[in-house]
Amino acid sequence: MSMSEDPLYQEAVGRFADVISEAKQLPLQDPTVMALATVGTDGQPSVRMVLMRGFDERGPNFFTNAGSRKGQELVKNPKAAVCFHWEPLLKQVRVEGPVEALSDEECDAYWNSRPRESRIGAWASDQSQPLDARQTLEDRVAMFDAKFPGDEIPRPEFWRGFRIIPHRIEFWASKPARLHDREVYDLGENGWTYSRLYP
């Protein structure tokens, strides 16, 4: 049995799917937004919001510019942690683990589903690099808009998806008197374990 076939892991993935579908029923603009933490080679963590674009039993994924700060940190140190919080649900979910790049096919499929202006914007943005003036960005948008006039816009090599392979998943649920529930699924040397933590 592979680690991902472990019934405890399957249970965690099922619970994750349930909370995501609960969140998607709320009137939220971005029910799958998550804080993504990466760590630089100097040990300095950095965190920013990104959108989870999909997930399956292999883990949650997101898309970004691989040359960005997060992208460079992930290349050098392919580990990440994400944290979701849905205030109306009084729930938090944390996922940690190694990160892998999505295949070209997966990146192309998602890229081609994006609106044209998002794809032009991705070409125009040298994400996380210094920008002298907003006008420079707008000029670059106009330049790529002219370069790719139709709807056929190739995916830039630097625009990629990443998957967090869960090695730890925590479900947190608010309870009265701050006696919150914390349930952790953790991948150890002998497979997945389940435990509760003090709040």
Which residue ranges make up the site for ligand FMN (CB under 6 A)? Answer: 30, 33, 46, 48-51, 62-64, 68-70, 127-128
Minimum CB distance to ligand FMN, residue 5 (Å)? 30
The nearest distance, CB 80 to ligand FMN, in angstroms, is: 12
Q: In this complex, which beta carbon is closest to ligand FMN, that of residue 51 or of residue 173?
A: 51
Choosing from 155, 178, 182, 196, the catalytic residue is 178
| Minimum separation from the CB atom of position 134 to ligand FMN (A) | 15
> For this structure, is 182 an active site residue?
no
Nearer to ligand FMN by C-beta: 12 or 37? 37
- The rounded distance, in Å, linking the Cα atoms of 171 and 93 is 5
Between 33 and 173, CB nearer to ligand FMN: 33
Residue 139, SS3 per DSSP: helix
Q: Is the dihedral of CA 95, 96, 97, 103 positive or negative?
A: positive
Beta-bridged to residue 120, according to DSSP, are none
Element housing 106 (H / E): helix 104-113
Q: Which amino acid is at 109?
A: A
Q: How far is CA 182 from CA 32, 35, 66, 129, in A?
A: 20, 19, 33, 39
Q: Which amino acids are annotated catalytic?
A: 178
